[in-house]
Amino acid sequence: MGIPHPDDAIELDTLLIRGGLTRSNYGETSEAIHMTSGFTYGSAAEAEARFTGENPGFVYSRYANPTLDIFEQRLRQIEGAGGCHGTSSGMAAVYAALATSLNAGDHVVASRALFGSCHVILSTILPRYNITTTFVDGDDLKAWESAVRPNTKVFFLETPANPTLALVDLKAVSAIAHAAGAKVIVDNAFATPLLQRPLMLGADIVTYSATKHIDGQGRCLGGAVLGTSEYCTDVLQPFLRHTGPALSPFNAWLLSKGLETLSLRVQRSCDTAEILADHLGDKPQVAKLLYPHHDSHPQVELGRRQMYRGGTILSLELKGGRAAAWAFMDAFKIIDISNNLGDSKSLITHPTTTTHRAMAEEDRLAMGITEGLVRLSVGLEGVNDLLADIDRGLKAAAAHS
């Protein structure tokens, strides 16, 4: 399936393989790993020229590194962004995006359904610097609008949200933010750089946990921030250089190799997720199925409009609460119980007792995270084996529904 992307002159599949590619003087086929902290200069004058920027080479890997350059340029081209910087984790990316967009006294409007650590940054860490946040239901456009204050500088959101897969209308929310003079930061980890392009829909900054689908094979942590070239060069780059959340060159190499197969992996997981969603949709044990491109999703029209495909993750609410959810999970022979996602291995999570256990029960329920809710990250195993596993789970859950 052809996924649109911002550069008509070259196909997306070609960019994933060759975007940002540079080679050392050995002409290696695969990207080289420049596992070095520093760089040397042929003369004192050359050292000076490197530092003044007259000579564009490298000086120190906290600043820049050739292996990171490949990853950053490849992702930048896929996203159609002016600039991109890699970070040591997804959370380092989110924190850098927020810290470079806010000053003491500023205000943020954010969707309530956020990855746990993003919530902690907004609700606990930034208030120490006199930056406060109003949380709203992401699908309620009126709520975004009425939360705006004179000092609102940032809208922060994630869509689809974890774990309910509730969607935020990127175009509409970006218009509200821009009318208020605020910037829009989107954590696009769930949708992947392939399936949703927030910058084309009005967002100003996009962040990734590259730990998820970009690596996609459970090997390393990493992240990235993307935005305009002015923002990345003048604001983000100095912040990253001096505060130091640098990505290891080895991890940058893994992530570049991850991008090479991103389309193959994500599209295959989407194919399987669609089959599993259809299979689960009408089962008596299932109270609710949540998949952005499935007819049963309350925002399916928006899902089809802003996501090229439905994604690799589906959630379902089993009748019979926690007992049914746990029986469903414990019956699996292939799908692993894990809090991670976006992996080649299919993974199942019970959010109430793990990823979202720190939340107050009433907040959890307000977000739709019930005792019967499970989140399935669909991997790359054979679809018939996964269907058989799901049927084992449904049979076990039936005893409680």
Ligand X SMILES: *Cc1c(COP(=O)(O)O)cnc(C)c1O
Closer residue to ligand X (CB): 94 or 325: 94
- For the chain, the straight-line distance linking the first and the last C-alpha, in angstroms and rounded, comes to 38
Q: Least distance to ligand X from the beta carbon of 367, Å?
A: 14
Q: Least distance to ligand X from the beta carbon of 333, Å?
A: 26
Q: Least distance to ligand X from the beta carbon of 97, Å?
A: 11
Closer residue to ligand X (CB): 116 or 321: 116
User: What tokens were used for 142?
Assistant: 């009126």
Closer residue to ligand X (CB): 99 or 323: 99
Q: Is 282 helix (H, G, I), strand (E, B) or coil?
A: coil
Tell the burial category of 40 from Cβ atoms under 10 Å away from its Cβ (0-12, 13-18, 19+).
exposed
The β-bridge relationship of strands 205-209 and 183-187 is parallel
Closer residue to ligand X (CB): 93 or 318: 93
User: What tokens were used for 69?
Assistant: 């350059």
Q: Least distance to ligand X from the beta carbon of 188, Å?
A: 8
For binding to ligand X (CB under 6 A), which residues are involved? 89-91, 94, 115, 118, 158, 162, 187, 189-190, 209, 211-212, 221, 223
Q: Least distance to ligand X from the beta carbon of 91, Å?
A: 4
Q: Least distance to ligand X from the beta carbon of 200, Å?
A: 20
Closer residue to ligand X (CB): 252 or 286: 252
Give φ, ψ of 65 to 5 degrees.
-150, 140
Q: What order do you get walking across the sheet with 313-318 strand by strand?
A: 286-290, 313-318, 373-377, 347-349, 336-337
Closer residue to ligand X (CB): 196 or 209: 209
What is the 3-class SS of 204-242, one letter each residue? Answer: CEEEEECHHHHHCCCCCCCEEEEECHHHHHHHHHHHHHH
Residue bearing tokens 């049914």? 324
Q: Is 293 helix (H, G, I), strand (E, B) or coil?
A: coil
